[in-house]
Structure 1
Amino acid sequence: MIEKIVGGVCVALLTWTGRTVWQNRHHLLLLKLLFVPRRKIRVSVAVLLRLHDEDHYVLFDSPTRPGGYGPPGGVVKYHQTPRGTLEKLGFDPEGRTNDVMKHDLRGFLPAARIPGFARWLHRATGREPATECLRREMIEELGEVGHPELAPLAQAVSFSPLRTVVDGPMKVPGEAYRQIRFIEVYDLLPDRPEAAELRAALLALARTPDSPHVIGATRQDIVRGRSGPHVVLPQSAFLIGDRREREDIQPVR
């Protein structure tokens, strides 16, 4: 009798393990969070653009991190309609007063819900498509760096996926929580004249010393975190690989 009970428990456990592994096969490393189910985790979902000419990567000035430069791109937005799905996962949006940041996929989750959140992201429903986010961010950021005349070119271009990175979980200095970033990196797709024109214009700006809001950085600059007098932000590392070299620089609040 006891042997049958133990056998049944073992079969049930193996079945549950197999199902869990299969459901989370795209993010297996996140399953370790099931061992700390109540831990508070900050999550954010972002898309970055890799635009380069050999060892020369284009970086934009960051308005939230003065003196810092990082790749074009930004945070993906969720659609209002699936808010119920996010609420069921326990998603608590990060409080932001800026309307530009409204509906950003940036907030807090219990650790046990992170694998489910990752599965929801992978389905790519109920949220802004990565390429749509990148195009929107490019148009906004071209204005911020002083070149709104290039925005029509960004409106017309397409992008091709390069890599997807799950960054974390990692401790946030001075905070009680850990954070995970889900990051997609894209290249500019060179299939249209607009793409070639935009690429050439941004590379030219990055090589111009008197263009203060757009710079160029080498791989070595990205690893070291410096390009001449400029700070290269840590997320720039995802342009050249799938892991960061340095801790985050916290934004100005």
Structure 2
Amino acid sequence: MVRLPGSAPPLVRVSFAAMLRIRDGEGIVLFEARSRPGAFTPPGGVFRHFGPATEVLGRLGFRSDRDDLRGEVPARSLPELLRWFDSGAYREDAAECLRRELAEAGFPGLAPGVRHLSFARFRTEVEVLDRPYRQLRQFECYDLVCADQSALRVRDRILALATDPRVHSALTATPADIAHGRAGAALIAPHAGYLTRVARTPSLR
């Protein structure tokens, strides 16, 4: 069970996300965050939950204005929320989440090829932060499995986008860039470090 440092606050901010590592030699592909122009993150996003989860989450006191697993929960409900998430019930699995995020990334021609992609998890990171507010963030890290020509075409298309100077919403960053938090003028989100084992935020693992 994950325990927060210090005394438990009334509410804890939580999020559960999957992110994808696509490598180009030393570089790792990052996409511009739709919610934060100029900042780049690994492809992926927050898991969504399905209708039947509403009752379960409501009983736990989970509050969110979205249909995804990013919101607030009473500290006393956190262990049960983590058990529910681990059960996989009434929510996207990682493949569903990553396929959807790739399809919605805003790159024409990418969406049709993602529906049958598969992924291999290589790491899970759980952050527990104490300031400026209490929060728990869980990141599942995956590699794209290039087992057939369809997956190879998607990978090659993503790499082409990230290395095309005319495309400003995708790039490749080196581990040094990620550790520094910048690639040229582009800001890099701290959690990108989990793809290179260079994390710039506290973690439990």
Query: Same-fold call, TM > 0.5?
Result: yes
How far off is 1:71 after superposition?
0.7
Tell me the distance in 2 between the aligned counterparts of 1:52 and 1:216.
Answer: 8
CA–CA distance in structure 1, aligned partners of residues 25 and 46 of structure 2: 27
Give me the CA root mean square deviation.
1.8
> Could you report, residue by residue, the CA deviation over 1:16-50 in whole angstroms, capped at 9, with x for unpaired residues?
xxxxxxxx3xxxxx1356x6344321001111111
Q: Is the contact between residue 38 and residue 112 of structure 1 (CA under 8 Å) also seen in structure 2? A: no
Deviation at 1:188, TM superposition (A): 0.5
Residues 194-249 of structure 1: CA deviation (Å, up to 9, x unaligned): 111111121122222222111000000001011112111112112112x73159xx
**Aligned partner (choices 11, 16, 39) of residue 68 of structure 1:** 39
1:77 maps to 2:41: no
Residue 37 of structure 2 aligns to a residue whose secondary structure is coil
Q: What is the percentage of aligned positions where both structures have the same residue?
A: 37
1:156 aligns with one of 91, 113, 116: 116
- The equivalent residue for 1:178 is 134
Cα distance, 1:64 vs. partner?
Answer: 1.1
Asked if 1:31 corresponds to 2:3, the answer is yes
Q: Distance in 2 between matches of 1:170 and 1:133?
A: 28
Q: What amino acid sits opposite 1:217 in the alignment? A: A
SS of the residue 1:88 aligns to? helix
User: Which structure dedicates a bigger proportion of its chain to strand?
Assistant: 2
Q: Is the Cα–Cα contact under 8 Å of residues 36 and 111 in structure 1 kept in the other structure?
A: no
* TM-score for both structures, normalised by structure 2: 0.91
Moved over 6 A (4+): none
Matched AA of 2:165:
P
2:90 alignment partner in structure 1? 126
What does residue 166 of structure 1 align with? 126
User: What residue identity is the alignment partner of 2:12?
Assistant: I
Counterpart of 1:59, as a letter, is L
1:137 has 2:101 as partner: yes
CA distance in 2, matches of 1:32, 1:233: 23
SS at 1:191 equivalent = coil
Q: Which residue of 2 aligns with 1:86?
A: 57
- Is 1:43 the equivalent of 2:14? yes
Does the CA-based 8 Å contact 1:223-1:245 persist in structure 2?
yes
State the distance in 2 between where 1:38 and 1:221 align: 35
Structure number, greater radius of gyration: 1
Counterpart position of 2:200: 245
Q: Distance in 2 between matches of 1:38 and 1:228?
A: 39
Q: How many residues align?
A: 202
Q: Aligned with 1:63: secondary structure?
A: coil
Q: Distance in 2 between matches of 1:206 and 1:153?
A: 17
Distance between the aligned counterparts of 1:114 and 1:246, measured in 2?
21
Structure 1 residue aligned with 2:147: 191
The residue type paired with residue 116 of structure 2 is A
Q: 1:70 and 1:38, CA in 2 relative to 1: closer, same or farther beyond 3 A?
A: closer
Q: Deviations over 1:51-93 (max 9, x none)?
A: 1133110011112111111111111111111222212222112
Partner of 1:3: none
Match of residue 23 from structure 2: 52
Q: What's the secondary structure of 2:114's corresponding residue?
A: helix
Structure 2: any 5+ residue segments left out of the alignment?
none
**Which one has the bigger helix percentage?**
1
